[in-house]
Structure 1
Amino acid sequence: MFVDDYNLAPPLVPAGRPQDLLEAGQALSASLSPLDNSVAVFVTSAHASKPSKRPPDEEQPVYFASLDAIPSSERRLFITDTLVIFAAFQNLLRTGKSKQPDWIQNDQTTAVMRKLSIDYVNFIKECWIHASSPAPRPEGPLQFSADHYRSLYTCFSLFVVLYLAEPGYDEAPVGDDLMEWLNIHFIEPSTEEGDHLSSLKMPWEDESFWPYLTRATLRGLSKASVFFFKTLSEHPSLDLRHLSDKVAAIISSQPRLQNFSAEKDFASASRRWKDKVKAIRVEMEQIPEADRFDEFDNWWDRLSDIVGILEGRGEIVERVCAELGADWKEVCAAWGVFVEPRLRRQELPDILERILETLPPDPTNFEDMVHTALLFGKAGEAVAHAAQLDRWLSAHLADIMQPLGLLDGQIHDGISARDEHVLSYAEYLHSDPALWRITVEYMYSCGDVGKERGDEVLIRVPLRLRDATQPTEDGQIRAGNVVGVLKDVNQTCFDYQREAARRTVCRIAAQNFVRGKEYGLAVTYCCSAEDWQGLGRVVDCLLDEYVASGKSQCPSTFAQYASDIAPSLQNLDPQHASSQGVFIHRLMFAVRYSNFQQLRTKHDQLQNAALDLVAMFRDDVAPKSWWAVLLCDAVDLLQYPTMLLFSPSGAAELLNKLEEIFTRSAQGSGADYLDILTRTIRGGGHKEALERLKTVRLALARYFARSAMLSG
């Protein structure tokens, strides 16, 4: 790929000369971040077998960019608040599917789905109003304009009108609902025009009078239409005065579906009303041509258009809308109110196809294309256009469309149409790592593929195990402060039953705790993850703390570290399978050895220290690799001047272990017994370790001699 395609800033090579990079034997590579959906672009060798012509020590920049703009504060508020509705909808689906096969067709279910969808609409409306506020914004300019949220508002509300009618009204005429939607979202005529005309003594003299009155009638704004028809009572033409009174009465008496309990009554009333409109048409035709004008306009033609609309003449509706600068949406809504008052939702595609022949939608306007697809009943196309407008819109529309059976049920590469759009939105959320809770909630609603992606997000959440607000002297944290992110990630795994991901997170946490020398927490999380090999590594690191301190001086830090892991031992069963038992025994040794080191520092506990040392050998707790260290630790106890701390059998146990070490070392197995002791001897090897063990043999010999003398 050419450098220019990346549009890097600052550029690596002069503009228009991408070949310079190739001539230097270099190319560009990119790598996706495991934390979010950002990308790093950097220079690599164009040919692995050929070295680059650039100096090896030359600094090369790394370019970082996000595939999506990170949500700003107001966008994040929009995301988090609508998540509540999404979660409620998912809960509805989970509980509904467990009841009966046809749960989705239940009126109660439909009512809840409609209510939640209206919640989306209302919240988008609030965001639109907030974004439209001219008040200063301390957080800076909006990431998405007020017009953007207005587009979301119009699209989602139209979806509710067309696909989530009130229970029992899905087969009812749709004209009034469409007109109400149009008047809410695309206000025409404007309030300013009405205020201006109402302030005039003779408003018909204004050039905007008849267009305003025509559009008010077309939009079903009966109060405004009647008001301005009544202003014509002062018009010089007696014919217009007479007709305006009748037209005003006709408009105010137009039947509305919501005023009837049965559709047949509405249909009957509509026919009678149309007969009255025809009577006005007959009366108008009787007016002579010469009387159809005033000093400003041909009032008869203007009134004829209005009467033609009331008559339901489709060609007049289309022509008038075109003259007024209206688009196909206005024609469609007026068609359902005047031309075909009993127009049903499933009949809209046929009507729309005719309308779009003369007033096509704007293919560059994604909002307009969403409206068109929804009215055509093409839910898949509507969601595809919605994705280009805002992935939030496509995800939440698809989420509701799927249980309604509106989307293609076919699954491609393990992903349904609904999941494809929800996952796309989740990937957008992943641009901000702080939104990981929301990201995984959307991902986990998307089948096996989504769950796998959600797991990958969870195990890469920065755990932030150091509590910056409560620092300890060594910069570490204690068990009581392990809250926040790690706790939330664990809880999320429990909530979604993602046990494999939870164990992985626990293993990662344990590794972090080991680096911070929080061995107690590390052991806890290894056990929680059932990571027994990891547990063994933690114990090895803990024991290394003792080895690093040098010759058996019982460092206080080692004792503290070991005491931290003791509580974990109470919750473990050493009788488990051998693979697990090996590591638990290693943990048990670390705790027992720490206890021994603490006892040997107290004069009144030396007897117990000696007993504990022998018990570690007899109970087979001490690993062979540590026998030599324990025997060296026994020297001071063997040489205690005032009393014999070991029993004869205990001293014999120590001698047996010592002789085994010497014997095995002579047979070539010294590494199994001496490596750890060797590490405590600066610059020493197996030879030096055996020399040190000779002091143990000498101490034992003296001990047996003292014992014989005292017994004799």
Structure 2
Amino acid sequence: MATNSNLNLAPPLVEFGKFEDLVTTGQTISSTVSPADNSFAVFMKNLVRSLPSGVDHHDGEDEQPIYFASRQAVPSSERRLFLTDTLLIFTAFRNLLKSAPNRESNWVQSDAFVGMTRKLAIDYVNFIKECWVHASQPIPRPGGLQYSSDHYRSLYTCFSLFVVLFLPEPGDEGAPLADELVEWLNTHFIEPSTEEGDSLSALDKPWEDEIFWPYLTRAILRGLSKASLFFLGALQQHPSDNLQRLTSTLIPLIETQPRLVNFAAEKDFAYAMRRWSDKVKALRIDMDRVPENDRFDEFDNWWDRLGDIVGILEGRSEVLQRVCEELGADWKEICVAWSVFVDPRLRRQDLPDVVAQVISELPPDPTDKEDMIHAALFSGQAVEALQHACQLDPWLSAHLADLMESLELVDSCLDEDSSLSLRDEYILTYADYLHSDPALWRVTVDYMYSCGDVGKSRGDEILLRVPLQLHEQNSDVKVNSRIRAGEIVGVLKDVNATCLEYQRENVRRTVCRIAAQTLVSDKDYGLAISYCLSAEDWRGVGRIVDSVLDEYITGGRQKFTQYALAIAPSVQELRTQVGIHGVFVHRLVFAVRFARFHELLDKEAHQDAASDLIAIFSEDIAPTSWWAIVLCDSIPLLRHNPKLLFSSSGASLLLHKLEEIFICTSQGAGDDYLLGLTRMIQAKDEKEALERLKAVRLALAHYFARCLVLDTDRLP
């Protein structure tokens, strides 16, 4: 596939031909690709190598221009509408192909499949036509159209020609195609012009006008019987009796020229053509009887002009080509007229031979991409047609290639180097163009995921880099509450749905992890843990819980309680999961229970707070590094007056945990027990942390003393 590898920057970073001068100064040009789209930044960069003596290094801190460029222009709003709407047809065709395994083995070669494919291809044609008509309307548009109406007209002619040549009605594959070619030519390349016909019809003696005979000849070439008969009828007023007589014979021939569509069977059409040709030959004999002196009028040699028309009706290829060239017709018009007059039974498989003969003398315009596509399609060169189509518009080559592969017009085998089929190469080229607009990521991945393992890999990379816009979501209270309820919304919801549609579970989990990391950086722990659960990222859950617990150490009790209670709804969901590592559940449960404990303290529900404190230790959910902190927080409850809040067994449990900390620390395991407390009180060493814990020991001693005095039943 031919692609343009040049990029012109304005103003240029380096003048043409002076790149070597730049290198000698120790610099070069470098670029970096944007992860969001296929744009890139171009800038000057110092070379990492020794420079010739006498050459100074450029200061790396010198200001240098940075260019932001792209290989393709970002689609405008109108172009984007065209791209997204035609995706519906593409998706419908892919779904049609996916249904093939559920049908008989040769279903894709059946008339039913071809008929459905033809219908979808016609849908493309009709939609392109609508875009062309819309772009042709004289509507004021700020900045104009990104793609002109003529561009869509070119797409219209090419796609409709593809349908005519390669997607006939089921059962018509082997039938003559003249009628369809004539209809295509007259639809897209109108000749002769309506203005010329109106001008001639207003004249009393139209044959006196120099454009009369060219107009009449071309009308007959194009099968425009109404216009042809009108002006042939005008010749009944010509002063030449011979011309009047010949015209009276020609008129019924034009009226009765056989058309395949008017016959139930081709053999009937062939028989009618033979009888009609005999009448044309009789007209030629009658013409030859006209004396030489009577073949002119005051303006032209009417006999030669009429002779050209009869020569065309006779099917004389040399006359047809000469007349068409004189009229300014191109190779297309000659080929179409050939199928009508020279070989009325011309079939699709025989058309390339005719085209080769015609274009050897009148080749297509190599500077006109549309004309080159037409020539390739007429010649049956599908691969060549795709090459030219890609240059005209990657949209055209992608959708033609998609249809061509299913019709076995191009090889579906994978290339050994790229691991891609020809169809996939053009689809991915088009997807790369779509990637120039990050807003079209959904459309981009839809095309990529239709291209085997290579396309799926590229689609995965697109999804992983879609901006999730979580900050905008978080500003919406309603959205926030919906996510807390377990609903994934916004862009992330679309990405999630796309992953599920194409069974990209690993990508979905990664995207959820990315979302969780973003939310953690914003300290939105409740939402973050929801996404971690969706991704089944249990280590991520553990990291979020650690971050929440760290808020207690660095931000204080109030912030910690707020953050921890935000992740509380996840506790029940985690407990219902099977096969989850218990450490993550316990750590999350601890953070929530510890936050609830402080919430009860703030509400002065001291008895409930004491019960929760004992439960934290008795259920063994507190990490050892947090024992010291929890014990320090028990001091206000131990000193509570006048009611004793702990049972003797509860107080003994607290004492047991406290003593374990002292014993294990003395045995060298202080980091396991005192790290959190050391950070919280900003202690210099373990000794200072142990001094703080002595206050817990003293509070417990006072508590046991009060138990002896106030309630002997509370003694151990």
2:385 to 363, 382, 389: 382
Q: 1-side partners of 2:20 and 2:171: how far apart?
A: 68
Specify whether residues 575 and 303 from structure 1 end up closer, same or farther in structure 2 by C-alpha distance, changes over 3 A only: closer
Q: Residue 563 in 1 paired to residue 569 in 2?
A: no
Amino acid at match of 1:595: R
Q: Residue 242 in 1 paired to residue 245 in 2?
A: yes
Once the two structures are TM-superposed, the CA of residue 90 in structure 1 deviates from its matched residue by 1.2
Once the two structures are TM-superposed, the CA of residue 214 in structure 1 deviates from its matched residue by 0.6
Q: Residue 105 in 1 paired to residue 109 in 2?
A: yes
Match of 2:118 in 1: 114
After superposition, give the CA deviation of every residue in 1:479-535 in whole Å (9 maximum; x if it has no partner).
479632111111111111111110011001111111222211111110110111111
Q: Residue 319 in 1 paired to residue 322 in 2?
A: yes
Specify whether residues 173 and 575 from structure 1 end up closer, same or farther in structure 2 by C-alpha distance, changes over 3 A only: closer
Q: 2-side partners of 1:191 and 1:108: how far apart?
A: 40
Q: 2-side partners of 1:686 and 1:457: how far apart?
A: 50
Match of 2:138 in 1: 134
Where 1:641 maps in the other structure, the secondary structure is coil
Amino acid at match of 2:40: V
1:185-584 aligned within 5 A: 185-412=188-415, 413-467=418-472, 470=475, 479=484, 483-550=489-556, 554-555=557-558, 557-573=559-575, 576-577=578-579, 580-584=581-585
Match of 2:597 in 1: 596
Match of 2:36 in 1: 35
Amino acid at match of 2:107: W
Q: 1-side partners of 2:17 and 2:183: how far apart?
A: 55
Once the two structures are TM-superposed, the CA of residue 705 in structure 1 deviates from its matched residue by 1.5
Q: 1-side partners of 2:253 and 2:382: how far apart?
A: 39
Q: 1-side partners of 2:10 and 2:256: how far apart?
A: 67
Match of 1:125 in 2: 129
Q: 1-side partners of 2:690 and 2:45: how far apart?
A: 54
After superposition, give the CA deviation of every residue in 1:444-503 in whole Å (9 maximum; x if it has no partner).
111111111111111111011123795569x99974796321111111111111111100
Match of 1:23 in 2: 24
Specify whether residues 352 and 15 from structure 1 end up closer, same or farther in structure 2 by C-alpha distance, changes over 3 A only: closer
Normalization by structure 1: what TM-score? 0.95
Match of 1:705 in 2: 705
Amino acid at match of 1:113: T
Normalization by structure 2: what TM-score? 0.94
8 A Cα contact 2:484 2:530, kept in partner: no
Q: 1-side partners of 2:42 and 2:292: how far apart?
A: 77
Where 1:30 maps in the other structure, the secondary structure is strand
1:91 to 92, 95, 120: 95
Amino acid at match of 1:277: V
Q: 2-side partners of 1:131 and 1:414: how far apart?
A: 39
Where 1:377 maps in the other structure, the secondary structure is coil
8 A Cα contact 1:532 1:583, kept in partner: yes
Specify whether residues 586 and 390 from structure 1 end up closer, same or farther in structure 2 by C-alpha distance, changes over 3 A only: same
Where 1:573 maps in the other structure, the secondary structure is helix
8 A Cα contact 2:600 2:609, kept in partner: yes
Q: Residue 169 in 1 paired to residue 208 in 2?
A: no
Once the two structures are TM-superposed, the CA of residue 625 in structure 1 deviates from its matched residue by 1.0
Once the two structures are TM-superposed, the CA of residue 584 in structure 1 deviates from its matched residue by 2.2
Where 1:128 maps in the other structure, the secondary structure is helix
Match of 2:62 in 1: 58
Where 1:44 maps in the other structure, the secondary structure is strand
Unaligned 5+ runs, structure 1: none
8 A Cα contact 2:483 2:489, kept in partner: no
Amino acid at match of 1:670: G
Is the deviation greater in 103-112 or in 304-313?
Answer: 103-112
Once the two structures are TM-superposed, the CA of residue 602 in structure 1 deviates from its matched residue by 2.6
Where 1:39 maps in the other structure, the secondary structure is strand
Specify whether residues 10 and 360 from structure 1 end up closer, same or farther in structure 2 by C-alpha distance, changes over 3 A only: closer
Once the two structures are TM-superposed, the CA of residue 321 in structure 1 deviates from its matched residue by 0.8
Q: 1-side partners of 2:171 and 2:577: how far apart?
A: 65
Amino acid at match of 2:659: E
Q: 1-side partners of 2:20 and 2:317: how far apart?
A: 63
Q: CA RMSD in A?
A: 2.1
8 A Cα contact 2:512 2:534, kept in partner: yes
Specify whether residues 669 and 501 from structure 1 end up closer, same or farther in structure 2 by C-alpha distance, changes over 3 A only: same
Q: 2-side partners of 1:313 and 1:15: how far apart?
A: 57
Unaligned 5+ runs, structure 2: none
Match of 2:77 in 1: 73
Q: 1-side partners of 2:691 and 2:49: how far apart?
A: 54
Amino acid at match of 2:194: T
Once the two structures are TM-superposed, the CA of residue 314 in structure 1 deviates from its matched residue by 0.9
Amino acid at match of 1:428: Y
Specify whether residues 337 and 469 from structure 1 end up closer, same or farther in structure 2 by C-alpha distance, changes over 3 A only: farther
8 A Cα contact 1:28 1:41, kept in partner: yes
Where 1:29 maps in the other structure, the secondary structure is strand
8 A Cα contact 2:545 2:588, kept in partner: yes
Q: 2-side partners of 1:612 and 1:37: how far apart?
A: 56
Specify whether residues 52 and 78 from structure 1 end up closer, same or farther in structure 2 by C-alpha distance, changes over 3 A only: farther
8 A Cα contact 1:575 1:581, kept in partner: no
After superposition, give the CA deviation of every residue in 1:272-296 in whole Å (9 maximum; x if it has no partner).
1111111100100111111111111
Q: 2-side partners of 1:468 and 1:575: how far apart?
A: 28
8 A Cα contact 1:471 1:477, kept in partner: no
Specify whether residues 41 and 323 from structure 1 end up closer, same or farther in structure 2 by C-alpha distance, changes over 3 A only: same
After superposition, give the CA deviation of every residue in 1:168-188 in whole Å (9 maximum; x if it has no partner).
111110111111111111111
Q: 2-side partners of 1:372 and 1:347: how far apart?
A: 15
Q: 2-side partners of 1:52 and 1:537: how far apart?
A: 50
Where 2:28 maps in the other structure, the secondary structure is strand
Where 2:40 maps in the other structure, the secondary structure is strand
Q: 1-side partners of 2:43 and 2:686: how far apart?
A: 50
Q: 2-side partners of 1:398 and 1:695: how far apart?
A: 80
Q: 2-side partners of 1:197 and 1:337: how far apart?
A: 26
Q: 1-side partners of 2:685 and 2:577: how far apart?
A: 37
Is the deviation greater in 246-255 or in 562-571?
Answer: 562-571
Q: 2-side partners of 1:49 and 1:569: how far apart?
A: 61
Once the two structures are TM-superposed, the CA of residue 17 in structure 1 deviates from its matched residue by 3.7
Q: 1-side partners of 2:705 and 2:169: how far apart?
A: 101
8 A Cα contact 1:255 1:270, kept in partner: yes
Q: 1-side partners of 2:170 and 2:17: how far apart?
A: 63
Amino acid at match of 1:77: L
Once the two structures are TM-superposed, the CA of residue 8 in structure 1 deviates from its matched residue by 3.7
8 A Cα contact 1:45 1:52, kept in partner: no
Amino acid at match of 1:54: H
Q: 2-side partners of 1:679 and 1:203: how far apart?
A: 105
Once the two structures are TM-superposed, the CA of residue 575 in structure 1 deviates from its matched residue by 7.9
Amino acid at match of 2:128: I
